[in-house]
Structure 1
Amino acid sequence: MSELTNLSSAGPALVSPLSASLGFAQIIDDIATSAAERERDHRLPREEIASLKALGFGALRLPVDAGGRGVSLRELLVIARDVAAADSNIAHAFRNHLWQVEAALRRREHPFHARVLELAGQKKTIGLSFVDSDVTAAGARPTKVLSRLEWDASRDVYVGSGDKVYATGNLYNDAFIGLAVESRAGRTVQYVLDRGEGVSDDDDWQGFGQRLTGSGTARFRDVTVPAAHLYPTDPPKSDEAAPWGYTFHQVYLTNCIAGIVRRVALDAVDVLRARGRNFYHGEAAHPADEPALQSLLGRIRAYAASVEATADRAVVALQRVWDAQGTRDEYETTLAATFAASEAKVVIDDLAPQIASWLIDLGSGSVVSRIGALDRHWRNIKVIASHNPRLYKERLLGQNLLTGQLPPTGAFF
């Protein structure tokens, strides 16, 4: 068996031995079984996400004595891929929280990050309250949703309002973090806002895929933040530090697509076994005995395995970054991981939709019913892939070979 990919001589399996050993097998199976029904009925996976929280999915990276399971970054992504194979909406909804935990583990001595880890250890999840200042502007960068926190002396709290557009996962989160200018000293601070009065979420995300990620608008109206939940901003990085700090985001999304592709391969077996009749011009009485369809199933299996192996390469590169923190190798390993993430995205964003379309070829008219919701795989892949379009990754990879061009350092590459 591959170190990362859950493959054996019998092909892919939904749940990895790692997830099973940590007690996640049953919930992942349950999520997979009900995924098509949720898609058909547009039922938000509140209960499923709550169950994963209760099992500690959001705290996997924390040490055991802090409420976690002490898994490595590589192992986290193994389990996240299993969840994505069951339902990519659910895996995607955890991304922002898992990134906050990852960032906090690197700077756990800072009081803000210590608070993030404390919440994660309590099996709570944390969303973001950043928003684009002008979502129509080229190169728009995130700014502060609660751009100003006004001190209310009568209640001994700060008060703020704002909207977070495209708030993936916020429907399911227990707390939110962001930046704001606090009124008393006029300084920029980080804050932690607990879900409570004044926090609301609209399920108004209009994407044709990833429909259940809770990616609508999060609204904050006169929310209160105690002074104790304001923290100084992080110190700037040193000149020697690697500037590429957001590779986790891209690898996580590509890892989710790899999970969907695994599910396509598993569904392909069920589809072919379930077909009751072959085309009249086929060579066999039953579709499962049809040489052309057996070949297509084999192609799906092979390409799915290649997608997972490509994702594994990026995951391993990201683990090396974690292992190299604070060493002389940190810069080079971070740069290498950024390129590995870009290479994986270019390849997987091309292959994954094709693999999902082969599932329809395999089932033909037997699988186009909305009841099975098999079209969700292609739609979900395309929506995840639309984050950070691969065209820019391709250009960078080519530029780097020609001129040594380095990757951008912003959060959205």
Structure 2
Amino acid sequence: MSSDATVAHDAGLRLVSPLSAALGFADAITDIGSTAAEREVAHRLPREEIARLKALGFGALRLAADAGGRGVSLRELFGVARDVAAADSNVAHAFRNHLWQVEAALRQRGHPFHAHVLDLTKQHKTVGLGFAQSDAVAAGARSSKVLSRLEWDERRHAYVGSGDKVYATGNLYNDAFVGLAVESRHGETVQYVLERGDGVSDEDDWQGFGQRLTGSGTARFRAVTVPAAHVYPPDPPKSAEAAPWGYTFHQVYLTNCIAGIVRRVALDAVEVLRARRRNFYHGEADHPAGEAVLQALLGRIRAYAACVDATADRAVDALQRAWDSYGTSAEYEATLTATHSAAEAKVVIDDLAPQIASWLIDLGSGSVVSRAGALDRHWRNIKVIASHNPRLYKERLLGENLLTGQLPPTGAFF
């Protein structure tokens, strides 16, 4: 991307928002954006790019300033994450599980397990997940564990475990991993924090046609050592009054990533039309940039991108209100509204975003189909992110709720 794409003429369309610039991320995000197509073509994992964001404190933004963070709101976090997604959606997606762990830890920072997660975050390290050993159970179920059993090793005075994590998004880049297991000494379910070391695999076996650089394949753990001090009791059960929907963050974050891709499509559309040199013989202008139908299509892309942005903002705002109500009498209703808003945003954005990405190819015609430009990555990345949680089920839920008042499921994906 050229420097012109950072700010489209008079459109207010920017790769880097004023917030990200004020927080010191402008150069990093711009550089990530300028090399995204090259990485896609070469299949170069964004290890350096992610490490740079870590060092700048992206993974710690939600921590208070005196705890190693910047004290941003949830809404502001999503704003910066959208900028990162506009630069490279792979990079933004790779941080999702860590950022969720930070949110969970902030709510229960008094628990030693969550205090450990916050301490790692303060050090600008990131934490991955160790759930879902296989996909043999229903999608989204929580019954499987990666290190399903931690065996006590008296010689090491530590636990030892092995297992595989499927769909291990971001784990290639993470410094530690958390999960549930049964420990052998007392037969109790525990939480653990496993810091990267011997026995942790770095294989990149993800075969998706989009989001190819997120490290979403299989993470393998072989005879890894978990110190006894890093094994903790499980979280206490929620009270009967607490809102049961605890995973809305995950869905809104993915939709937020798609909104970032759509913004990048709009920015790339400006560059495509400016750079296009040849018009069709039956066109009405000497240069494509002066072609009325192409200007109209660019305007359509801009308008739809703005609507996607606003729809994503609505879901983020609802999630912020749910967060603000945590532990109050308003929590249940605010959290229910947030999960419905997340579903509504997903239905709309999953439908519109691939179409907007297709219009980019229409705008450039045969001039932009070269693999070197990798403009097809936008459509592919959108579809892969959207596939995490099919909108068909969200549509059904929203319709059934209007008809009968049926509430959303309370497990993962809602």
Q: Indicate whether the TM-score tops 0.5.
A: yes
Corresponding residue number in structure 2 for 1:201: 202
Corresponding residue number in structure 2 for 1:287: 288
- After TM superposition, the structure 1 = structure 2 runs for residues 35-54 of structure 1, keeping only pairs within 5 Å, are 35-54=36-55
- After TM superposition, the structure 1 = structure 2 runs for residues 247-266 of structure 1, keeping only pairs within 5 Å, are 247-266=248-267
3-state SS of paired residue (2:219): strand
3-state SS of paired residue (1:12): coil
Corresponding letter in the other structure for 1:26: D
> Displacement, 1:140?
6.1
Q: Partners in 2 of 1:287 and 1:8 — Cα distance?
A: 17
Aligned pair in 2 of structure 1 residues 375, 81: CA closer, same or farther (>3 Å)?
same
- Runs of 4+ residues over 4 Å off in structure 1: 6-9
Q: Partners in 1 of 2:412 and 2:8 — Cα distance?
A: 33
* Deviation per residue, 1:194-238 (Å, 9 max, x gap): 000011121000000000001111111000011000000001001
Corresponding letter in the other structure for 1:126: V
> Displacement, 1:139?
4.7
- After TM superposition, the structure 1 = structure 2 runs for residues 183-262 of structure 1, keeping only pairs within 5 Å, are 183-262=184-263
Corresponding residue number in structure 2 for 1:10: 11
Corresponding letter in the other structure for 1:98: L
Corresponding residue number in structure 2 for 1:162: 163
> Displacement, 1:68?
0.4
3-state SS of paired residue (1:206): coil
> Displacement, 1:382?
0.2
Corresponding residue number in structure 1 for 2:98: 97
Q: Partners in 1 of 2:133 and 2:53 — Cα distance?
A: 30
Corresponding letter in the other structure for 2:32: I
TM-score (norm 1): 0.97
Corresponding residue number in structure 2 for 1:151: 152
Corresponding letter in the other structure for 1:352: A
Identify unmatched segments of 5+ residues in structure 2. Answer: 1-6
- After TM superposition, the structure 1 = structure 2 runs for residues 323-362 of structure 1, keeping only pairs within 5 Å, are 323-362=324-363
Corresponding letter in the other structure for 1:169: G
* Deviation per residue, 1:99-146 (Å, 9 max, x gap): 00000000000000000000000000000111244x144456232111
Contact 2:340 2:398 in 1 (8 A): yes
Corresponding residue number in structure 2 for 1:66: 67
Q: Partners in 1 of 2:163 and 2:251 — Cα distance?
A: 27
Q: What is the number of residues matched between the two proteins?
A: 407
Corresponding residue number in structure 2 for 1:298: 299
Corresponding residue number in structure 2 for 1:141: 141
Q: Partners in 1 of 2:282 and 2:115 — Cα distance?
A: 66
* Deviation per residue, 1:307-366 (Å, 9 max, x gap): 000000000000001111111110000000000000000000000000000000000000
Q: Partners in 1 of 2:137 and 2:191 — Cα distance?
A: 25
> Displacement, 1:412?
2.7
Q: Is it true that 1:394 corresponds to 2:365 in the alignment?
A: no
Q: Partners in 2 of 1:175 and 1:54 — Cα distance?
A: 16
Corresponding residue number in structure 1 for 2:81: 80
- After TM superposition, the structure 1 = structure 2 runs for residues 393-412 of structure 1, keeping only pairs within 5 Å, are 393-412=394-413
Corresponding residue number in structure 2 for 1:364: 365
Contact 1:345 1:390 in 2 (8 A): yes
Identify unmatched segments of 5+ residues in structure 1. Answer: 1-5
Identical amino acids, percent of aligned pairs: 81
Corresponding letter in the other structure for 1:141: A
* Deviation per residue, 1:155-189 (Å, 9 max, x gap): 11110000111100000000000001111111110
Q: Partners in 1 of 2:354 and 2:238 — Cα distance?
A: 39
Corresponding residue number in structure 2 for 1:21: 22
3-state SS of paired residue (1:149): strand
> Displacement, 1:9?
4.7
Q: Partners in 1 of 2:93 and 2:16 — Cα distance?
A: 17
Contact 2:8 2:270 in 1 (8 A): no
Corresponding residue number in structure 2 for 1:307: 308
Q: Partners in 2 of 1:148 and 1:362 — Cα distance?
A: 55
3-state SS of paired residue (2:202): strand
Corresponding residue number in structure 2 for 1:384: 385
Q: Partners in 2 of 1:363 and 1:128 — Cα distance?
A: 41
Corresponding residue number in structure 1 for 2:3: none
Aligned pair in 2 of structure 1 residues 343, 96: CA closer, same or farther (>3 Å)?
same
Corresponding letter in the other structure for 1:12: L
Contact 2:62 2:74 in 1 (8 A): yes
Contact 2:315 2:342 in 1 (8 A): yes
3-state SS of paired residue (1:162): strand
Corresponding letter in the other structure for 1:103: A
Q: Partners in 2 of 1:325 and 1:138 — Cα distance?
A: 29
Corresponding residue number in structure 2 for 1:182: 183
Q: Partners in 1 of 2:234 and 2:344 — Cα distance?
A: 33
Q: Partners in 1 of 2:360 and 2:14 — Cα distance?
A: 17
